[in-house]
Chain A
């Protein structure tokens, strides 16, 4: 093995190992600090912080989804916020139905906003969402199906590169406009909110919050492992071959369209799961989640962390979102400057992101 290759392999293994270690530590420490350490103690972690970390982790799942399709397959999807939001809405619809008679209007069947709009019965597409298992399936199915139909059309007609980026952006923009409409039956402008409980547990209870946090951590672990399984397999190598030389891959006998399609669908479902975990933690889902800017932001998380490495994507999601939280509380006016500059700096100077920077620094120190 050449030096370069060994370095690559080492980087990947070390990165993945590091990821699992950090995830495990988080999953053990956070509950300890939150539940076991008494409230007055300086070591105590507030439920607010737990939720924040949980939110970051659901973003990390989204970043893994985007990295799979962009970092590994070269498809710059600017529509992943749509899949994220669809997963979120599926979960939101379940949570909405769980409210039951506790809504402002006390209607057992209809969510408040439908009563407000004078609707007399539940639309057909809301049927079944009172059951968790059904909602869980829809969390995967809704984004998956949209990705399948869209991808089937786009990849079959070989729409690639910026064209694909632009039409994915148009897709999420169209959905944004659609979900703003009250007539769509998803709560219009306000979206879905005021959730009360999930699977019978009070959403405000610290225990439930902790369970959601742990579920997100688990999902992130599974998503990461699944991503690694795919990228480490020959399938992953084909996908990367598609990224680097699409038509060449075709000429050695790979049906590029199906590779792209299935990866896209998988990635969309992962984004849906991320959305579904995000919604009960933040307590709201509204059409703003569809906005094209969100999609591009996810891309920048991945770029900052280092695309083409899954742990890089996770790292980027956490770092950028932490920065966002910090800026928006301390220096809200500076945040967009920082984010914008980040885009420029990363694309110009850090094509491999933080991960690339770290290994470059190590390499230099090793040489010195």
Chain B
């Protein structure tokens, strides 16, 4: 089940954090030693330049991680034309040493000598990767950013400045100042000035620091916030009272913006969770809402959709994006056909006996789960995310949202619109509504009700399959995927009002947002519990949900 997993995960993470905090103290001491040593290394590096690049490269295979950073700096400053390529390759994990200690860079066509760029004949088996660790990667990025500062495109330069301001050491400041002289692009100039102001915060004169604080007004990045809050209070607070006050005011302002954007972020998270709920529930809104059929195997139809996405990726391993797009119609067909089979085989015999339908379809859900376990595996499968769905949209320093969250909202809206149009603008929709309102009358008017039933059930099930494709991008695909969503889906439909698509939309969104709004206060699991309890109580007050269905039939007499 999903919830408990989440909690145990959180617990694990908490424990880990506790452990790390302990380790941190231990780490500090060597770090200090390292700093001292670094000073020495820099002095050594300033010795006759000559073959700085080559000596540094040659010492790479045997260097410790601590040495490596100094060596990287040496390479960066060497001015060697291949320096950037080498550092980039190192960062990307494409730098190797062979048994003799020679360094090779993995390129498009094979391994090349980093200094000359000439290809060499080496066996991949003999190579050992020149490793990196987090700290080193950070350093490498900073150095590469300095190279990128000279890049011809403005946006790349801005990215470089942003990268550099994470670690504003002297060389970075010098590089930035040099660039500022030649920079023509206003945006880049602005960015550099901000970065320099950030460095200026450490300046000697209080007036300089005050000016820096003033010029940083409006910059709400983490670096600015950290520096300012350090200045405002605590052990390393600024000596000057005026500066402290200014820093404090700036920190306050950033904090209020932070909480604002956190609110926006929570809302966005809520909307995307809500979209997931709506997607999962909307097929149910048709089978349960329009037809009055309780399909406990609905979750497994979602699961089938998710496995369809998985299989499509297996079939088209080199076209992940295409596979995903194709899985949408395929999953619709797979789950839809499964739905038609369920309707013809089981549900049809149980119309008017909702509790029996519930039990039979539940049995079916067990069979489907086990089937998936037998065919695939009891373990979770992960479906890859194509490039156009990964990454995140950076609104500003304080707000970034992963694309997938935005896409899921969009996707839900498209599915919803398509479904709404199908039900309201097509002849199938008309028949579906006719049958749901008055079965006998519809029969009398020559509608083949049993065919309409099968089609409706297939439609609802097909939508479940589509929801499964969407879910495959958000969670792992496994035999229990359906179970995790079935109760939520029913809650959404019942809460929104049975037989009302808009109710499902609004109900799902409302529950998603409420859940996410509660989470910061009470934690994820408790939020879920509270939402469930809320729905239970809500149903007592308004049996028919948010948007009740009208008419005599709705009362069930």
Contacts and interface: CB of A to CB of B under 8 A. Distances in A.
A45 B360 CA distance: 37
A163 B350 CA distance: 17
A219 interface: no
Contacts of B4: 176-177, 180, 189, 287
Given A189-B4, A336-B370, A170 B540 contact: no
Nearest to B296: A296
Contacts of A333: 370, 373-374
B457 to A, nearest CB: 16
A174 B539 CA distance: 15
Interface residues of A, number: 48
B349 interface: yes
Interface stretch (A12-20, A150-158, A251-259, A276-284): A150-158
Contact of B533 (A174, A180, A182): A174
Interface string B478-514: 0000010001001100100000000000000000000
A180 B7 contact: yes
B168 to A, nearest CB: 42
Contact of A348 (B349, B355, B528, B543): B349
Nearest to A182: B11
A333 B556 CA distance: 42
A344 B363 contact: yes
Interface in B340-383: 346, 349-350, 354-360, 362-371, 373-374
B363 A339 contact: yes
A298 B541 CA distance: 29
A171 B543 contact: no
Interface in A145-177: 150, 153-154, 156-159, 161-163, 165-167, 169-171, 173-174, 176-177
A136 B119 CA distance: 82
Contacts of A287: 4
A196 B506 CA distance: 53
Interface string A259-276: 000000000000000000
Interface in B294-319: 294
Contact of A163 (B371, B494, B526): B494
Interface string A112-154: 0000000000000000000000000000000000000010011
A307 to B, nearest CB: 10
A157 B359 contact: no
Nearest to A154: B540
Interface residues of B, number: 49
B543 A159 contact: yes
A247 interface: yes
B1 interface: yes
Nearest to B524: A177
A26 interface: no
Contacts of A153: 536-537, 540
Contacts of B373: 333, 336
Residue from A287, A333, A340 whose CB has the most chain B CB atoms within 10 Å: A340
Contacts of B536: 150, 153, 167, 170-171, 174
A238 interface: no
Interface of A: 76, 150, 153-154, 156-159, 161-163, 165-167, 169-171, 173-174, 176-178, 180-182, 189, 247, 287, 291-293, 296, 299-300, 303, 333, 336-337, 339-344, 346-348, 351
17 contacts: A76-B358, A153-B540, A154-B539, A154-B540, A162-B358, A165-B358, A173-B532, A180-B525, A287-B4, A303-B359, A333-B373, A339-B363, A340-B368, A340-B370, A344-B363, A344-B367, A348-B346
Given A170-B532, A348-B349, 7 more contacts: A165-B355, A170-B491, A174-B536, A177-B4, A181-B526, A296-B362, A303-B359
